[in-house]
Structure 1
Amino acid sequence: MKEVKVLGPGCKRCTTTAEMVQAEADKLGVAVTVEKVTDYAAIAGYGIASTPGIVIDGKVVHAGGLPKPDDLARWLAA
């Protein structure tokens, strides 16, 4: 199971990103846990300057703006 964290203050883009991650994982048949991280200190700890950010299994894979579905599929399949 992949551990995915969506980093952001809880804005619409952050919520949409979390939904996109879950939808893509379901489509690929990849088991994931999606956690929303809204604490600014925790977000800063990942070195994220712009949100939403995505962390998969402890590795930052995206920061700023909505991710592309193709990128999500690649990150989740890796």
Structure 2
Amino acid sequence: MTIVQVLGTGCKKCVSLKENVETALKEMGVEADVQKIEDINQIIHFGVMSTPALAVDGEVKIVGKVATPAEIKAVLSQGELG
């Protein structure tokens, strides 16, 4: 199963990104393990210095913005989703 990680410390933008991820997955009809990573040390481990950020299966795809559901779907459709 695909793991989608929303990286952010809990700010409003981070919450919005998580909601957009869930919307995109629902619209695609795809199930994924959506994780919210709020620990700053884990976020830094990803190499992210600006939040919110989105990672798919541990690979950072979007940094520093609240991606729209359409943008998220484009990112997710580039890889194989299980």
Partner residue in 2 for 1:28: 28
Partner residue in 2 for 1:46: 46
| 4+ long deviations beyond 4 Å | none
2:71 is aligned with 1:71: yes
Matched letter for residue 71 of structure 1: E
| TM-score (norm: length of structure 2) | 0.88
Query: Cα distance, 1:68 vs. partner?
Result: 3.2
**2-side partners of 1:44 and 1:19: how far apart?**
22
Matched letter for residue 27 of structure 1: E
Matched letter for residue 6 of structure 1: V
2:52 is aligned with 1:18: no
Any conservation in 2 of the 1:6–1:53 contact (CA below 8 Å)? Answer: yes
Query: Cα distance, 1:72 vs. partner?
Result: 0.6
Any conservation in 2 of the 1:22–1:32 contact (CA below 8 Å)? Answer: no
Matched letter for residue 36 of structure 2: K
Query: Cα distance, 1:18 vs. partner?
Result: 0.4
**2-side partners of 1:38 and 1:70: how far apart?**
24
**1-side partners of 2:68 and 2:21: how far apart?**
10
SS at match of 2:24: helix
How many residues are matched? 78
Q: Which runs of 5+ in 1 are unaligned?
A: none
Query: Cα distance, 1:29 vs. partner?
Result: 0.9
| TM-score (norm: length of structure 1) | 0.92
Q: Which runs of 5+ in 2 are unaligned?
A: none
Query: Cα distance, 1:71 vs. partner?
Result: 2.1
The share of aligned pairs that are identical, in percent, is 35
